[in-house]
Amino acid sequence: MKKYLFITLFSFLILNLNAKEYTVSSPSGELKVTVSVDENITYAVSLNGKEIITPSAISMKLDDGLVLGENARVRKTKTTEVNQEIIPVVNRKHAQIEDHYNLLTLSFKNYSLEFKAYNDGVAYRWGVEKKEPFKVVSEQATFAFPANHEIWFPEEESMFTHQERIYERVKLSDVTPNRFCSTGMLVDCGNNTKVYISESDLMDYPGMFLKGSTENSNALVGKYPSVVLETKQNGDRNVAPTKYADYIAECKGTRTFPWRAMIITDDAGLVESEMIYKLAPENVLENTDWIKPGKVAWDWWNANNIYGVDFESGVNNNTYKYYIDFASKYGLEYIILDEGWYHLEDIMDVVDDIDIQELVDYGKQKNVGVILWVVWKALDDKLIEALDQFQEWGVKGIKIDFMQRDDQWMVNFYEKIARECAKRELLVDYHGAYKPSGLDRKYPNVISYEGVKGLENAKWSNQPDPEHNVTLPFTRMVAGPMDFTPGAMLNANKTNFNAVFTEPMSPGTRCHQLGMYVVFESPLQMLADNPSNYYREPECMEFLKAVPAVWDDTKVLEAKVSDYIAVARKSGDKWFVGAMTDWDPRTLNLDLSFLGDGNYTMEIWKDGVNADKHAADFSQEKITVSSSSKVKVEMAPGGGWVAVITKK
């Protein structure tokens, strides 16, 4: 990773004990953080002079009685400007990321508090200096607002969760202290200003949930799973905690804690923000040349229900060679073997109809890699033996599933998997997982995450529907890569949709599904449907063959949370544009001023005239455009639109 760092030291002062308030502003000067140090510590955030976060108390209690933030006395303060460029190992939104912020560091006896102010948000974290091990009993993180704002609330019933939720639209006051949600979550502050609350640099510490406050109905406060003392396994995949400690983390000594992040921007800014990634630890892998993003032919959603072949479909080598042939024809980098390739009680016991080595070798001939799905507990039971075998076979990565926890032990397990897989040059895709929170920068072989109510749910419910789909870019996707698994070729409007497990369809139009390949970010992007169905759709496969999984640049053209989105993304010398709407028909006028000089060919896939009645209806056209063009996009209910723009 190449990086350029320019640091200006504003102040390094020994302050008198009467100093109470400390401030740091974003490089633009628009965002300002005010930290008040008295009997407790509070912070507040303003945007252009208007209060966005009201004074919010923060603290951390340790087992030796020390409470960080209580009766604190600042010993010294330092304010630093950092302006650097990050070159990510695996692109998502950009090939180069500007990392420009001002940093305020407050030093106390035995601990510190840091605030970073970016142009699109702020973040803070604690640090502790101790030679001996200690425990964190509790952490107080408060996010108080000046009014009873509307929020998008991914409510949870338990902290044993896949974090796959619908974002309910409620008021802050509706969130009583016994209600809580996973993060990130989104607050609508009015005046086209949103606050997205999440975390980054989540290492060796439990994840943060948010619950209602007992003291302020307009505030949310942190909630954390305690250290797990005992678990009970139910079946082959569910390992639920049954006994917790009375503390949330065990620490070895001097350390910093996760960043508490607030992205403060408009709707388009949420989609473009890289703040969670920028707050994460730097890459620790020396050799990353083997880390290859790409598209994947996926078997589980379509139940291996291929047809038009002279063999019985199912979990067998003939079926997976069919997937490999399909992937090879359309330039997909990988196939995945999901559930069924091994006996679930023993990851080393491959079923009789599967020969992994034969499939890997066949894939090499076709330039297609193989990824294996695994249940986390079965893998952990034989971790080194299994990963060594995967490496010997020549497998390219794993999709690890059903963790359903983010207590400290499980957070450390994520990092252990990332580290051990990196040693063997294996990619990692976390399913049954919490949201991205920094591990994918530290270990760039961590290439995608679930933690989202994705297309798999359409096999048994009417979700995810188009309104949910156009909420995700402003909520879950802000955290990082999102393995939603798009690509349905059987499409239905709201009236005609029906959940079918073995031959599933999607709510919304065909072009709504195509739009996901531009709008949704995942460097390991799935084609969820049946290769037999894709073969019947050569016009759509023209697009799915061309669209990449990572990007050099991103421009949000139109955006409104839960209503619509249009995004332009650059790859090489081509631009790809994707648009999606909710269940309301929509007309957008897209400004193409992001294009360079000259004329371009725009190849378009759009909802057909009858897509409101037959959701799979689409049409194509080619037009000539330039940077002065305005393109009219018309979308059916639950519709979408995509285009590829090439210089003439």
Which residues are part of the catalytic machinery?
401, 456
DSSP track, 2-53:
-EEEEEEEEEEE---TT--EEEEE-TTSSEEEEEEESSSEEEEEEETTEEEE
Residues near 38 by beta carbon (within 8 Å), at least 6 away in sequence: 20
Three-state SS letters, 302-346: CCCCCCCCCCCCCCCHHHHHHHHHHHHHCCCCEEEECCCCECCCC
Distance, CA of 566 to CA of 511 (rounded, Å): 13
Query: How large is the C-alpha radius of gyration of the chain?
Result: 25
- Report helix, strand or coil for 513: helix
Distance, CA of 585 to CA of 232 (rounded, Å): 48
Q: Taking Cα atoms as reference points, which of 554, 466, 477, 454 lies closest to residue 512?
A: 466
C-beta separation of 636 from 585 below 8 A: yes
Here the tokens at position 395 are 């497998």
Neighbours of 410 (CB within 10 A): 20
Provide the strand spans (E) within 471-585.
491-492, 506-507, 524-527, 553-560, 564-571, 574-581
- Report helix, strand or coil for 543: helix
Give me the amino acid identity at 487. Answer: G
C-beta separation of 486 from 163 below 8 A: no
CA dihedral 511, 516, 518, 524 (to 10 degrees): -140
For 414, half-sphere exposure in the C-beta direction (CA atoms, 13 angstrom radius) is 36
Q: Specify the length of the chain in residues.
A: 648
Distance, CA of 23 to CA of 43 (rounded, Å): 9
Q: Which helix (H) or strand (E) holds 140?
A: strand 134-144
